[in-house]
Structure 1
Amino acid sequence: MTQETMPFSAQDCLIALMMSISMSDTNIRTAELVSIQQVVDHLPIFADYDVGRIKVVAHITERLLDEQDGLDALFAVIREQLPEDLFETGYALAVEVGVADNFLGQPELRMLEEIRYELNIDRLHAAAIETAARIRHRTL
């Protein structure tokens, strides 16, 4: 079994959610990639994560997003492999990457809406997560 065909771990699912936001507008920005790297480097949930998997997960995510019904397939894997108590964490990490460049365009907003729907994120909780991320990324 190659690294590319290995099933997604819960951590891979979190990476895929962050990558899906970055890829949603077809313009992967440096700030978004830096944000993903910082998250992986600093959050305890990624303490034992093989960072070499980031490129593999990014490639698989990109392939799925390019396929018809690929987004449905991606969310099916995420719902299967990511424990439900980490759904809000996944949403929070996706929002964090989305606001990393201080701009959320329509494609990113639609992807966040899709993530909320697919992971059944309560609208009030989503609003709190989004507000916290905007506050953390404010500039003078």
Structure 2
Amino acid sequence: MQKPLSIQEALIWVMVTAAIADRNMTERELNQFERLIGFLPVFQGFEGSVGAIADACSENLKSVNGIDHILDRVAMSLPERLYETAYALAIEVAASDVDVKQEELVFLQMLEDRFALNKLAVAAIEHSARVRYRKIG
């Protein structure tokens, strides 16, 4: 059995997996990682290498049952009170491109199911992202 990820590593794994779900991590998504890690209290004191953490996550994703393995490691590493935070981070990354792809939606559904998130909380998180990323025209 592998050792648990740190809480911050687990949250970064969620963001990375959301970004590469459609097999295309964009510059916007990378910028969103930096922005979120730079200002959210849950990342206060983080001094790790996002690149190294992202590489480890990507390697796990390539393995047999990679997505399940990632979800297992993340769920094992996060306290339950941060499940909604992880979901919100995944939403932020997926929404940063404004056009959320089907593969990203599938990952979000898997995350919601794995964490057994409250449907009202999920709806509120998703609505909040839609409002923040709405275009003018």
Q: Shorter-chain TM-score: what band?
A: over 0.9
> What is the Cα deviation at residue 132 of structure 1?
0.1
- Is 1:99 the equivalent of 2:95? yes
The amino acid of 1:68's aligned partner reads V
| Alignment correspondent of 1:63 | 59
Contact 2:60–2:69 under 8 Å retained in 1 = yes
Q: Could you say which residue in structure 2 is the equivalent of 1:31?
A: 28
What is the CA-CA distance between 1:51 and the residue it aligns to? 4.0
Instruction: Give unmatched runs, 5+ long, in structure 2.
Output: none
Alignment-derived partner of residue 79 in structure 1? 75
Ranges of 4+ aligned residues in structure 1 off by more than 6 Å: none
Distance across 2 between alignment mates of 1:132 and 1:82: 23
Give, in whole Å, the separation in 2 of the partners of 1:37 and 1:51.
12
Secondary structure in 2 matching 1:104: coil
RMSD of aligned Cα (Å): 1.4
Normalising by the residue count of structure 1, what TM-score does the alignment of the two structures yield? 0.91
Query: For the residues of structure 2 that align with 1:96 and 1:51, how far apart are their CA atoms?
Result: 21
Identity %: 32
The residue number in structure 1 matching 2:10 is: 13
- Count of residues in correspondence between the two structures: 135
Which residues of structure 1 form unaligned runs of 5+?
none
CA displacement, residues 75-105 of structure 1 (integer Å, 9 cap, x when unaligned): 1111111111000000000000000010111
